[in-house]
Structure 1
Amino acid sequence: MRRREVLAGLAVSAAVGAPFGALARPGGPPVGELLVAGLRDAMLGLGEAPVATSAESLGAEVTAALADFDACRYSGLAVRLPRLIRTGHALTADGATAGRHGLLARSYLLATRMLVKMDEQQLGRLAADRARQFAEHAEDVLAVAESARQMAVLARKAGRHREALSLALAGADDPGLRRAGRAGVALRGLLVQSAAYTLARRGDRDGMRALTDEAAALAQGLVGGNPPRADADGFSPLTVQLHRISAENHAGDPSAALAAARALPLKALPSVERRSRALGDLAVTYDRLGLRDECVRTLLVAERCAPQETRARPATKALVSSLLASGPTTPELRGLALRSAVPV
């Protein structure tokens, strides 16, 4: 059965005759497996050549893919994103231009973010490196900075904290970002925030808080004007506050994480993906404080907010598995486990 499921996952990336955004079929392998398998095939050049399309159409589909990501519509991304990568490579092979390189960079950046969510570090590093290369060819300073941020995230996940700090802080100091207006400020803030999170992972609570305050100051400077470019990840004082929840948890102070969560108006966050992330971080906070019932209730709210995100993410599945093993279960918890393919 397992072999058939994997083969089915690989097959989805070959469905190039389907329109952009076609959904993965219900009843098949979990959406996270489909997405990872499809990205792996596309990045390795496996599968049939894509249907011909224009660079303008590809740009519109990159924008649509970002909207799918923000809305946690991952079944759509499981088809759309691998096909974007295939199509981008085909267009570039026909005649490279900076614009086409820039579209490929944005596609690979989105792929990296999804692979980070799915805890696929090796494939994520490959995607981030390709994003950097295409961004450099396109001379897109913002995409170069974002690729540095994603590389820092992956280095942190691999336990290479010194490398993660170096990537994030060097990226934040890039003079090009200081000439890039409000979007440059936003990416500087995101890179500083990434460095703060790395310090949290190292247990440096004071350093984490100092850098988070620096990121908050950058975010505050953006208040009141036109929003930065969309791929600056919605950087704002609200998203810095969201970052504090997870950072305080990893720095060893779940009480401070809970205080940060209570100060965050959930509905004001800019996307379903961000609201889902906030609820996931709050569930972890309750778990670390020993508040089991509140943790389960928060996971169920997260599932209602973003079912595909909650059921697919390995970090959430690990928390559900831990709850099943650590105490009495309820029908609600067992139901979430079954829907998330966590053994009960």
Structure 2
Amino acid sequence: MLANLAVTAAAAAGAPLLSGDAAPTNDALLGQLLVSRLRDAMLGLGHRPPDVRPEALSTDLSRALADFHTCRYASLAVRLPRLLQAGHALTTSSEDPEHHLLLANSYTLATRMLIKLDEQQLGWMAADRARQLAAASADPLSVAEAARQLAVLARKAQWHDQALSIALTAADDPALRTAGRQGTAQRGLLIQSAAYTAARCGDRDGMRDLTSEAAAIADGLGGATLLRDHGGGFSPVTVQLHLISAENSAGDPMAALAAARAISPKALPSAERRSRYHTDVATALARRGHRDECVRALLAAEQQAPEETHARPAVKSLISGLLVSGRTIPELRGLAARAGVLA
């Protein structure tokens, strides 16, 4: 099915280094394709990529990160697996810490993508490789970001104590405290992650305390801090975005909607973050029984990031629930068709 829906990848990826594969035109299948290609790249299957210069890989990692932040799954389905393959070829022939850092950051991005696509088994594999490679590179920001992704996976596995420990231990790493403004911002992201975990295990007071701590760090930085591995970086606005998700996870959709009203989605730093805002609002509205408003929020997410909205399992599940739980409107049926969700 995927092969029959393929188009040339050069148009999707827009980069000569990683051209030569194909991506489907059907957005609903993009997640499946991306997972299968990441799996094969991580298992060492497929053609060995041509020898490339480290500078070219660094450029392509930047492009892959841009694809992630703009939710271009078709491009990522081409670029990211080939980036892992090329990175392995480079580190096999070199002990340069910078080469390990390139591959560590590639695996961290793969982990984030696999978490979005609810592929936890492959996510653990990618996260562990990211952690080991980041440690070999001795880069404190990469070590911290790899730890943050491990904490997310532990949370999804309902290992809440372990997830809190991973995130808060990484946040207390002395290396982050001497890494300047970016190190402080990375600490804030880790504390945000711990707050979300507290929400998932029902500790609302702990969640709000940790969120307040992250907000204080953001306020102390005096504005947004850009981080290469996190679209738009860390700021008071991104802390507030995490609070919406945390309040939803704590079972309080009214508080989630109140948190959403405190920010404008236009203030969020990337299409990926704006799409997350709208899907979190949709989740809260669905829990409140506001079906039509929920559909409008999902359509707003689709406008920001169509490929993500159509491919993410969490969004598909929300659409499916709306289809079977009550009256459907044409807009919902159209969205379901584009996302490949059947009633």
TM-score (norm 2): 0.93
Q: Which has the higher contact order (CA 8 A, sep 6+)?
A: 2
Distance 1:26 1:18, change over 3 A: farther
Report the 3-state secondary structure (helix = DSSP H, G, I; strand = E; otherwise coil) of the residue aligned with 2:221.
Answer: coil
Structure 1 unmatched ranges of 5 or more: none
1:142-221 to 2 correspondences below 5 Å: 142-221=141-220
Q: Percent identity?
A: 60
State the 1:5 CA deviation: 4.0
Q: Supply the distance in 2 between the matched residues of 1:266 and 1:323 (Cα, whole angstroms).
A: 24
> Counterpart of 1:105?
104
State the 1:204 CA deviation: 1.0
> Counterpart of 1:229?
227
Q: Supply the distance in 1 between the matched residues of 2:293 and 2:117 (Cα, whole angstroms).
A: 25
1:342 partnered with 2:326 = no
Report the 3-state secondary structure (helix = DSSP H, G, I; strand = E; otherwise coil) of the residue aligned with 1:221.
Answer: helix
Report the 3-state secondary structure (helix = DSSP H, G, I; strand = E; otherwise coil) of the residue aligned with 1:111.
Answer: helix
Q: Supply the distance in 1 between the matched residues of 2:27 and 2:323 (Cα, whole angstroms).
A: 25
> Counterpart of 2:39?
40
> Counterpart of 1:244?
243
1:253 partnered with 2:268 = no
> Counterpart of 1:289?
288
Q: Supply the distance in 2 between the matched residues of 1:20 and 1:275 (Cα, whole angstroms).
A: 28
Q: Is the 8 A contact 2:2 2:24 kept in 1?
A: no
- Give CA deviations for 1:105-132 in whole Å, capped at 9, x if unaligned: 0100000000000000010011011001
* AA matched with 2:92: A
Q: Supply the distance in 2 between the matched residues of 1:227 and 1:202 (Cα, whole angstroms).
A: 29
Q: Supply the distance in 2 between the matched residues of 1:185 and 1:129 (Cα, whole angstroms).
A: 24
Structure 2 unmatched ranges of 5 or more: none
Distance 1:206 1:6, change over 3 A: farther
- Give CA deviations for 1:225-284 in whole Å, capped at 9, x if unaligned: x83432244111000000111111111211111111011111111100000000000000
1:271-282 to 2 correspondences below 5 Å: 271-282=270-281
State the 1:223 CA deviation: 1.6
Report the 3-state secondary structure (helix = DSSP H, G, I; strand = E; otherwise coil) of the residue aligned with 1:24.
Answer: strand
Report the 3-state secondary structure (helix = DSSP H, G, I; strand = E; otherwise coil) of the residue aligned with 1:128.
Answer: helix
- Give CA deviations for 1:140-165 in whole Å, capped at 9, x if unaligned: 11111111110000000011111101
* AA matched with 2:333: R
- Give CA deviations for 1:265-305 in whole Å, capped at 9, x if unaligned: 11111100000000000000101111111001110111111
> Counterpart of 1:141?
140
1:89 partnered with 2:88 = yes
1:17-36 to 2 correspondences below 5 Å: 19-20=17-18, 24-27=23-26, 30-36=29-35
Distance 1:19 1:227, change over 3 A: same
How many residue pairs end up in the alignment?
336
Report the 3-state secondary structure (helix = DSSP H, G, I; strand = E; otherwise coil) of the residue aligned with 1:88.
Answer: helix
State the 1:176 CA deviation: 0.7
Q: Is the 8 A contact 1:115 1:123 kept in 2?
A: yes
Q: Supply the distance in 2 between the matched residues of 1:192 and 1:88 (Cα, whole angstroms).
A: 30
1:60 partnered with 2:55 = no
State the 1:336 CA deviation: 0.8
State the 1:341 CA deviation: 1.1
Report the 3-state secondary structure (helix = DSSP H, G, I; strand = E; otherwise coil) of the residue aligned with 2:229.
Answer: helix
Q: Supply the distance in 2 between the matched residues of 1:231 and 1:221 (Cα, whole angstroms).
A: 21
Q: Supply the distance in 1 between the matched residues of 2:195 and 2:325 (Cα, whole angstroms).
A: 31
Q: Supply the distance in 2 between the matched residues of 1:7 and 1:106 (Cα, whole angstroms).
A: 32
Q: Is the 8 A contact 2:27 2:307 kept in 1?
A: no
Q: Supply the distance in 2 between the matched residues of 1:118 and 1:306 (Cα, whole angstroms).
A: 15
* AA matched with 1:178: R
Q: Is the 8 A contact 1:81 1:107 kept in 2?
A: yes
- Give CA deviations for 1:85-124 in whole Å, capped at 9, x if unaligned: 0000001112221110000001000000000000000100
State the 1:28 CA deviation: 8.6
> Counterpart of 1:76?
75
